[in-house]
Amino acid sequence: MDAFLQAAIDEAQQGLDEGGIPIGSVLVHQGKIIGRGHNRRVQHGSATLHGEMDALENAGRQPASVYRDSVLYTTLSPCSMCSGAILLYGIPKVIVGENQTFLGEEDLLRSRGVQVEVVQDARCVELMRTFIARSPELWNEDIGE
Amino acid sequence: MDAFLQAAIDEAQQGLDEGGIPIGSVLVHQGKIIGRGHNRRVQHGSATLHGEMDALENAGRQPASVYRDSVLYTTLSPCSMCSGAILLYGIPKVIVGENQTFLGEEDLLRSRGVQVEVVQDARCVELMRTFIARSPELWNEDIGE
């Protein structure tokens, strides 16, 4: 297991333990995690802090040069908002834990030159499958459905 | 002047008065503002709270039915992150103060069925022109350049 994907899964698990949506993310610059986070819809009543957004927010203000030399790890295929943030900051590479329970804007990202790798990690799938089965309304709220 | 665009401009002005980036936004549901905000990069050290994101965040958790019956007003053409948030939540209409100083993802929004109206309001243009001339590095940071 890639240690950075494992860190994103740890964030997802922490979110679940807090009663939240189990999606986690880390932003990695030159081999070091500079931001990590997880979905905060339940914990902060947040409409914008998806896992990826929370990782970006926790990385703080960074110059373009940092983003453009970074990799974003996320346990789940990034939605349009998080994909838009990836495009805004010119993050060149995204490692996706799984896209079986939700397929985000991977095609848009690739069409703009972002390298997207999907791992299909069994633990990422299981976290989301179990959560969606238990809390379908919360999940639908998170993806605007 | 549309009262809702005026409210977005008031938010932009408030951001400027706080030493921040003068971009404001309001989310309007059935003729009432349910969320308002402005760019918080400087004030909160935030990488994700653009004006539109701040308005969405301040509107709090909402069901899809609310977003799908709402209009987002923003003083500046929405970047890819904010456009992605508009797509995530299925907001059907966006009123843009101006797109002369920055052209965001209006084409992407329209290609996904979002109605985008650009007002080219002189005060919105002036707020951004003056700000960009004074703080080009801060502006570039905000748009990932």
Element (H, E) at A101: none
Residue A29 host element (H or E) = strand A24-29
Residue (of A71, A74, A129) closest to A100 by Cα position: A129
Contacts of A56 in chain B (CB under 8 A): 47-48
Residue A108 has pLDDT above 70, yes or no: yes
Which sequence positions of B are flagged as catalytic?
52
Bridge partners of B28? B33, B71
Q: What is the pLDDT of residues A25-77, one digit of tens each?
A: 999 999 999 999 999 999 999 999 999 999 999 999 999 999 999 999 999 99
* Contact in structure between B63 and B88 (CB atoms under 8 Å): no
Q: What is the mean pLDDT of chain A?
A: 97
A81's CB contacts (< 8 A; 6+ apart) are A48, A50, A53, B81, B84, B85, B87, B88
What does the block give as tokens for B29?
């549901």
Can you give the pLDDT at residue A45? Answer: 98
Which ipTM did the prediction report?
Answer: 0.97
Q: Does A47 touch chain B (CB under 8 A)?
A: yes
Residue A63 C-alpha, separation from nearest chain B C-alpha, in angstroms: 6
Mind listing the pLDDT tens digit for each residue in B110-124? Answer: 999 999 999 999 999
- What is the mean pLDDT of the segment spanning B68-81? 98
Cα separation, A109 vs A112, in Å, equals 5
As a whole number of Å, the CA-based R_g of chain B is 14
| Average pLDDT, rounded, for chain B | 97
Residues of A in contact with B89 (CB under 8 A): 47, 144
φ, ψ for residue A24, nearest 5 deg: -130, 165
Nearest-neighbour CA in chain A from B120: distance (Å): 23
Residues of B in contact with A140 (CB under 8 A): 64
Give the chain A residue whose CA is nearest to the CA of B48: A57
Using DSSP's 3-state secondary structure scheme, residue A115 falls into strand
Q: How far is B138 from chain A (nearest CA, A)?
A: 10
Q: How many CA atoms lie within 13 A of B34 on its CB side?
A: 18
Count of A–B CB contacts within 8 Å? Answer: 92
Interchain contact, B81 vs A79, CB within 8 Å: no
CA distances from B37 to A27, A48, A85 (A): 26, 13, 18
Task: Determine the pLDDT at residue B1.
Answer: 67
Contacts with B111 (C-beta within 8 Å, 6 or more apart), sequence order: none
pLDDT at residue A116, rounded to an integer: 98
Chain A residues whose CB is inside 8 A of the B144 CB are: 64, 67, 88-90
Of B22, B88, B90, B68, give the one whose Cα is nearest residue A53. Answer: B88
pLDDT at A1: 67
Q: In chain B, what percentage of residues exceed pLDDT 70? A: 99
Pairing type for strands A24-29 and A32-38 reads antiparallel
> Do residues B11 and B35 lie in contact, with contact meaning Cβ atoms separated by under 8 Å?
no
